[in-house]
Structure 1
């Protein structure tokens, strides 16, 4: 929940505005990431204003702890946050206070010693190789421009492990002639990822027989867009529309479990590691800043333990 500006103390509002500008301009964070900071810190600033704090220099550790308790319970009128979402909000709060101290606005950092909520570490949900094949086989409902686009979109998501925002944000020129694609991740950080033959064939078919037809359907301005994936109006395909494409394919494939664009990203990483890929290579392909984030995919599931035990122990069966 982001509080209306008129409910915030003026000094807090100015400090928040300056920090968000710093994130956008100096650190180069994407608009989506800045918007997430704005939501979490707007809620924090509203909490501080409600507690009578007029500036960051009046905040102490108890205020930060009270905020975490309030958002976990929804006591501030907002949606209750999970442990992981609360930890994300605390990270945003810490960043703001570090910035305030570095700028000389405050003498201390009241968030530095506040512990993040304990999180239950869950394995990412990944589809089996067979289920991915079924999903991609059901990606297109025909050899229409939209059908060719849908197949190329889903093939590219699984082939590159890209985030949905990265893939719908691709321009035609980002798809190289040497089976590589340029993805722009968090903070507009660029990485180059190989593209498999199935995805290359699907993208080539779309570029030849699908995209020109979708571009013609748009206005003169829309026809000049560099976007790779277009909607039926000739403009860039949105993340919401891409999500709908995936949901339609999952339904046609008969997949009853929840499937999201991130499911394909998880499947990409899991299948690479199961095939023997080095975790550092997978880290680079996913665009993770830390290998610790990637290592969650190396955790062995109970099902995998049972399968290996049954197949290898001489007295398992």
Structure 2
């Protein structure tokens, strides 16, 4: 192996050790990275010029070599080990992986330029949160690729209502009415921007047809107080690092009804132990709330920090239990697992948000003003809190008026 490749492997090993990967994983990653380097060195392809397609081809080659050596196919998750080691190597060699897409034609150049400007506008002019920008950008890239590849770089100025209808017909199959409505709203945003920047002759956004969703249509799932208690009790029996982390997360969900992103972005400095308060950065509005640190929440977080959280430089309270020890990406699988283990079966969706709905309903039933509920949940207006009213069905039944003449009918 050339000296430069040896240095790259040494740098990879040092990076993995710094990220606290286990010695076994570090050895495996370096071994597969070394084989990857040898493969391309024999073909005189510099590692700095390796493409995604070539990596995919190499992984197929690695699977074939595994079959040749062992006389059988590898396990279903085997490919993730060499792939992870190779990706870590390429991040060091190329500075970024996967690489930024490169324009191969005039349509790509135009699409990349529009998307870059559109993303800047969404972030700086509209001030949207990252999840909203991500969703809008995905739809924008998808639509522009569809339109430009189909009709060419000059087609935006000549775009018609028929083009919009064809795109919506392409996106609509196998989607719920709510999902189709979301697609329409994201497409409208892009079309307004295209007209604003004079890339389309007319504003086509009013012509995007979406399903009509009625106010308070569909009642979301919630957990009753006894079900929440059962989930917390079951989770408390797991004293492993994962169990301690999940218990603290569940306490935050049950006590404050926080969004998943608000928990994932919670930092150690957001907890003021002396003042017994917790600072919440609301992911949608970017506003901050200071809430009292309730005893069960504080105790669960403190136990996790002392006995469950791995040593890491990350400032987020909740981190992965496996290297690299960075912030959590999702909470859904952990929450779903704890609800399932408790034997609780909500009628609808079973993720972190049902705790949020449950907290809102509990406060409604305690006659807490709607404005106070909205402030705690981080809503900008009472209109955002209003949908939670439909969950308090028992309370609505309690105050329902008798239908005139019902005694006669009965």
TM-score, normalising length from structure 1?
A: 0.79
Q: Distance in 2 between matches of 1:17 and 1:281?
A: 39
Supply the RMSD in Å over aligned alpha carbons: 3.3
Aligned match of 2:301: 203
Corresponding residue to 2:192 among 98, 110, 116: 98
Distance change in 2, residues 1:261/1:110 (3 Å): same
CA contact (8 A) 1:180 1:192 kept: no
The offset of 1:25, in angstroms, is: 4.5
Q: Residues 153 and 191 (structure 1 numbering): CA distance in 2 closer, same or farther, change over 3 Å?
A: same
| SS at structure 2 position matched to 1:259 | coil
The 8 Å contact of residues 192 and 204 in structure 2, kept in 1 or not, is answered as no
Cα shift at 1:152:
1.0
**1:236 maps to 2:326:** yes
Q: Flag structure 1 segments of 5+ consecutive residues without an equivalent.
A: 74-79, 217-221
What residue number does 2:51 align with? none
Does residue 267 of the first structure (1) align with residue 358 of the second (2)? yes
Larger Rg belongs to: 2
Q: Which whole-Å CA distance do the structure 2 matches of 1:7 and 1:156 have between them?
A: 50
Structure 2 contact 365–395 (Cα < 8 Å) conserved: no
RCO comparison, higher one (Cα < 8 Å, 6+): 1
Q: Match for residue 179 of structure 2? A: 85
CA deviation profile, 1:119-152 (whole Å, cap 9, x unmatched): 2611221111111111111223344444332211
**Residue of 352, 366, 370 corresponding to 1:279:** 370
Q: Tell whether the 8 Å contact from 2:231 to 2:338 is kept in structure 1 after alignment.
A: yes
Deviation at 1:228, TM superposition (A): 0.6
1:70 paired with 2:170, answer: yes
2:255 to 159, 167, 173: 159
How many equivalent pairs are there? 296
CA deviation string 1:96-115 (max 9, x = no partner) = 22222333334421112434
Secondary structure in structure 1 of the residue aligned to 2:344: coil
5+ residue gaps, structure 2, are 1-101, 402-406
User: What are the superposed Cα offsets for residues 7-38 of structure 1, whole Å, 9 maximum, x if unpaired?
Assistant: 99343443233212322444444443332223
Look up the match of 2:244: 148
The answer to whether the 8 A contact 2:188-2:205 is kept is yes
1:203-228: per-residue Cα shift (whole Å, max 9, x none)?
23333x325xx333xxxxx3x22121
Query: In the superposition, relative to structure 1, how do residues 279 and 62 fare at CA in structure 2: closer, same or farther (>3 Å)?
Result: farther
CA-to-aligned-CA distance 1:59-93 (integer Å, 9 cap, x gap): 233322332232112xxxxxx32221122122212
